[in-house]
Amino acid sequence: MPSRRGAPEMTLQMPPQKTASGNFFEDFRVGQELVHATPRTITTGDVALYTALYGPRFALQSSDEVARAHGYSAAPVDDLLVFHVVFGKTVPDVSLNAVANLGYADCRFGVPVFPGDTISTRSTVIGLKENSNRQSGNVYVRSTGRNQRGAVVLDYVRWVMVRKRDAGAEVTGAVVPDLPTVVDPASLAGPRGVDFRAWDVAASGSPHLWDDYAVGERIDHVDGMTIEEAEHMLATRLYQNTARVHFNQYEQKAGRFGRRLIYGGHIISLARALAFNGLGNGVLVAAINGGRHVNPTFAGDTVFAWSAVLDKAPLAGRDDLGALRIRTIATKDQPTGDYPEAGEAVVLDLDYWVLMPRRGMAA
């Protein structure tokens, strides 16, 4: 019927949904390409905040003068800060509806990152497997972070358990990728254009170099750090990681644990910072072979760590650096003097390669 003004009546239409609810398990497809939003420029403010959150003391990342003495233009950004920024970009598309992040593999660090560099991330879905309860499934993605020049700064695989939107939705064709258990040390060349033959052990605070470590050796890192609620939330915001399990107490109080989970990467950075006491000259993380977040952590937990030397390898064509394969175990509320490897107190089991100056080459 015409309106009082003679114009036809209009049917009210709802505008299209403008907010994003994130992908659920049934939204993913093997081969799917995900271009993640919000390129991130790393600043000295990010570096300072990262240092305040975890207290890393590695000399190369702490001092422009130490870095310049070995051929860098300035102190490179901590490798794990790069990891977290690349990881954070993926969360809105990959793990916004995650139950838990399960593991990592084939993680390789590329060119160094400096304040002023801008990082962008893309991911490819390489595997899918629905869980038997049909409430969730595991999503495998390979994510690559690049700087503003297109150079790779990080390339890695992770797998995450993601909720289904509809438990009854049919998902067919499980694909579980075949992933390497260790990054081949022959592929670890170390950074180009730098030289660690005059490494200053007085500046680094540790006299122990690559040659001094033996395969099978265990190191209790002694110290512990308690996680504060504000710290882990501030850290996760720093990486623009939007996963609800870390932020939304209103939602999480009805969940399995009744409280927010600590982002697993927060534990990795705490363990790496604690490992300085015993591995102080492990100046660069070259690769992560694999890792598991074994048990959840919460605000108020105190994190401890110990490490084992799994392997060591020289770098092809270099006499200034060697690679150590390290397994670091982090625990909550349990000191690590007896080197626990399993149990409810173990929260992280991380296998990675660090690069360390060689003896006879250091000052």
> If DSSP states are collapsed to H, E and C, what string results for 254-304?
CCCCCCCCCCHHHHHHHHHHHCHHHHCCCCEEEEEEEEECCCCCCCCCEEE
C-alpha gyration radius of the chain:
23
Spatial CA neighbour of 288 closest among 156, 147, 101 = 156
Q: Residue 104: what residue type?
A: Y
Look-up of token digits 């006499």:
319
How far from chain centre, in Å, is Cα 265?
5
Domains of the chain: 25-167+180-357 (3.10.129.10)
Determine contact, residues 22/98, Cβ cutoff 8 Å.
no
Determine contact, residues 161/132, Cβ cutoff 8 Å.
no
- Residue 105: the pLDDT is 95
Determine contact, residues 322/310, Cβ cutoff 8 Å.
no
363 residues of the chain, pLDDT tens digit each? 455 555 566 666 777 778 888 899 999 999 999 999 999 999 999 999 999 999 999 999 999 999 999 999 999 999 999 999 999 999 999 998 888 888 899 999 999 999 999 999 999 999 999 999 999 999 999 999 999 999 999 999 999 999 999 988 888 889 999 999 999 999 998 899 999 999 999 999 999 999 999 999 999 999 999 999 999 999 999 999 888 888 888 888 888 889 989 999 999 999 999 999 999 999 999 999 999 999 999 999 999 999 999 999 999 999 999 999 999 999 999 999 999 999 999 999 999 999 999 987 555
Q: Residue 160: what residue type?
A: V
Residue 161, C-beta contacts closer than 8 angstroms, at least 6 positions apart: 98, 99, 100, 101, 102, 131, 136, 137, 138, 139
Determine contact, residues 264/295, Cβ cutoff 8 Å.
no
Residue 284, C-beta contacts closer than 8 angstroms, at least 6 positions apart: 60, 79, 109, 190, 191, 354, 355
Q: Rounded distance, CA 156 to CA 107, Å? A: 4
User: Sign of dihedral through CA atoms 4, 5, 11, 12?
Assistant: negative
Spatial CA neighbour of 91 closest among 170, 150, 26, 34 = 34
Say what the pTM is.
Answer: 0.91
**In 10 A of CB 129, how many CB atoms?**
16
Q: Rounded distance, CA 190 to CA 210, Å? A: 14
Residue 180: CA count within 13 A, CB half-sphere: 13
Q: Which string of DSSP letters, residue by residue, matches 218-257?
A: EEEEEEEEEPPHHHHHHHHHHTT---HHHH-HHHHTTSSS
Question: What Cα–Cα distance (Å) separates residue 39 from each residue in 64, 143, 300, 359?
Answer: 25, 14, 33, 40
Look-up of token digits 């049909």:
134
Residue 250: CA count within 13 A, CB half-sphere: 0
Summarize the chain as % helix, strand, coil (round to 5): 25, 30, 45
Q: Rounded distance, CA 162 to CA 23, Å? A: 9
- Residue 128: the pLDDT is 96
Spatial CA neighbour of 272 closest among 61, 35, 100 = 61
For residue 206, which phi and psi values (nearest 5 degrees)?
A: -140, 130
- Residue 314: the pLDDT is 95
- Residue 214: the pLDDT is 98
